[in-house]
């Protein structure tokens, strides 16, 4: 028997919003049986009524004013699926001030305004749920805040952008350039017309900031994220990876140094061992590896974007919200507002001198006597120790060579300073390209 109607408002009716409405209709009977309640979409806010859409919506519930949805006293749950941050922030704040439950898939909004929004939710008795903001259909947020709640986290590493993973996979499989594969990705719908949010690492960085908060209760400023996209990855890097048992992946990393309790958030192309969980995930899939002190490593792999995957995560939060409304208690609420004491209290952002790794470096230099000695001298002056050096002529031009260097473990500060000094060499033809080398630990 249905005990009550739970009224839902959708703010945004693009690809994800249509997916949410479609699957709520399709699963209506199953959700009614599970919850003992009816989830009813009573308002849909969209910008352009004339735009053709795959999913039909009754004109009687359509509005072009998302604020009216946020403040409507009849609506229990507001789904913010608008994208962007300015209008989305305004809508979310208005709903939270009314004590409503807000479900959001907006990682940029959370990255920029998460601390403010959660504070408002706490003050006015609202709730903010955002499972769909990271890794699409992979329930990683529930895993961290529920399934792994007893764990201290030493690191979270992930492939969080399917577009980049597709491009790097195809560069590996086809031996083609970044620019050629990008064209292919756009033709297949895996990349937007303006691909910069994806390929510059911005999308993954937004998600990494959310993961850092989930694990450590600290909002890391976006400008504190060490960020490098995939535009500069070349076939030389791909070939080195293949020849040496690695894969080039765009890795979002959240690491805590136990000695200093400092936190590092980064998004960078990384050489990952091909036999590792992250090194073996190809195509548009996402993958996340979480290291906890109790459980050890857990790995989550699945579709990271797209209408159905994201809608699945949004509806998961809607169901949690419905349970909270029906049964009361803490189901569906996201409670962490302060750094978790089990992680050692306040966590500072790690300094470059505290971040240590092996590194890969690609240089294009003039093939002249003494060039290698100059490079070795600069690296040595910053205490960067060489592990291997190889070089190959660039095309048919014997005057230029591509030099690939790997280092022993060193600090991010040391290798960055060395790279800066190398950039000043008169014999250097291109800016140095550098990325960390991952391991199996």
Active-site residues, by number, are: 207
- For β-strands 397-407 and 386-394, DSSP reports them as antiparallel
- Residue 135: DSSP 8-state: S
Tell me how far apart the alpha carbons of residues 321 and 129 are, in angstroms, rounded to a whole number. Answer: 8
Spatial CB neighbours of 293, under 8 Å, sequence gap ≥ 6: 151, 152, 153, 154
Taking the CB of residue 366, how many other CB atoms lie within 10 A of it? 13
Judge contact between 228 and 164, C-beta under 8 A: no
DSSP E strands in 97-241: the ranges are 101-104, 127-129, 153-159, 226-227
Evaluate whether 221 touches 246 at the Cβ level (below 8 Å): no
Q: How many other CB atoms sit within 10 Å of the CB of residue 61?
A: 15
- State the number of CA atoms in the 13 A half-sphere of 294 facing the CB: 8
Whole-number Å distance between alpha carbons of 358 and 409: 4
In the numeric block, which tokens belong to residue 325?
Answer: 């409304």
For 228, left (φ over 0), alpha (ψ -120 to 50), or beta?
A: beta
| Paired tokens of 92 | 């979310």
> How far apart are the C-alpha atoms of 283 and 303, rounded to whole Å?
10
Query: φ and ψ at 263, to 5 degrees?
Result: -110, 135
Cα–Cα distance for residue pair 411/416, rounded to 1 Å: 9
Residue 98 and residue 126 in contact, taking contact as beta carbons nearer than 8 Å: yes
DSSP for 317-330, written as a single string? HHHHHHHHHHH-TT
């Amino acid at each position: 028997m249905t005990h009550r109607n739970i009224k839902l408002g959708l703010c945004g009716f693009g690809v994800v919003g249509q997916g949410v409405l479609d699957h709520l209709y399709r699963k209506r009977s199953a959700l009614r049986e599970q919850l003992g309640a009816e989830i009813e979409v009573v308002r849909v806010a969209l910008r352009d009524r004339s735009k053709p859409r795959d999913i039909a919506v009754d004109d009687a519930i359509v509005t072009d004013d998302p604020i009216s949805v946020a403040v409507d006293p009849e609506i229990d749950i507001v789904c913010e699926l608008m994208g962007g941050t300015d209008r989305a922030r305004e809508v979310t704040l208005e709903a939270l001030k009314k004590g409503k439950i807000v479900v959001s898939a907006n990682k940029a909004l959370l990255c920029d305004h998460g601390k403010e929004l959660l504070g408002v939710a706490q003050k006015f008795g609202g709730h903010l749920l955002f499972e769909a903001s990271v890794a699409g259909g992979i329930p990683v947020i529930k895993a961290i805040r529920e399934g792994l709640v007893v764990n201290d986290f030493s690191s979270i590493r992930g492939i969080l952008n399917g577009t980049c993973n597709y491009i790097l996979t195809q560069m590996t499989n086809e031996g083609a350039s970044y620019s050629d594969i990008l064209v292919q990705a756009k033709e297949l719908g895996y990349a937007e017309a303006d691909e910069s949010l994806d390929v510059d690492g911005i999308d993954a960085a937004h998600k990494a900031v959310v993961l850092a908060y989930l694990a450590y209760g600290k909002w890391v400023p976006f400008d504190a994220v060490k960020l490098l996209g995939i535009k500069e990855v070349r076939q030389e890097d791909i070939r080195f990876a293949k020849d040496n048992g690695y894969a080039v992946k765009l890795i979002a990393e959240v690491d805590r140094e136990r000695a200093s309790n400092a936190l590092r958030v980064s998004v960078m192309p990384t050489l990952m061992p091909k036999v590792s969980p992250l090194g073996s995930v190809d195509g548009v899939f996402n993958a996340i590896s979480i290291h906890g002190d109790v459980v050890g490593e857990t790995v989550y792999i699945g579709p990271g974007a797209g209408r159905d995957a994201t809608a699945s995560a949004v509806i998961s939060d809607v169901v949690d919200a419905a349970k909270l409304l029906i049964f009361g208690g803490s189901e569906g609420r996201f409670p962490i507002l302060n750094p978790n004491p089990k992680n050692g209290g306040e966590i500072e952002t790690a300094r470059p001198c505290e971040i240590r790794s092996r590194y890969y470096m690609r240089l294009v230099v003039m093939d002249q006597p003494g060039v290698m000695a100059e490079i070795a001298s600069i690296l040595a002056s910053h205490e960067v120790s060489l592990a291997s050096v190889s070089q190959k002529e660039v095309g048919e031009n014997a005057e230029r060579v591509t030099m690939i260097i790997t280092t022993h473990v060193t600090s991010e500060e040391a290798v960055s300073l060395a790279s800066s000094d190398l950039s000043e060499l008169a014999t250097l033809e291109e800016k140095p390209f550098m990325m960390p080398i991952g391991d199996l630990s």
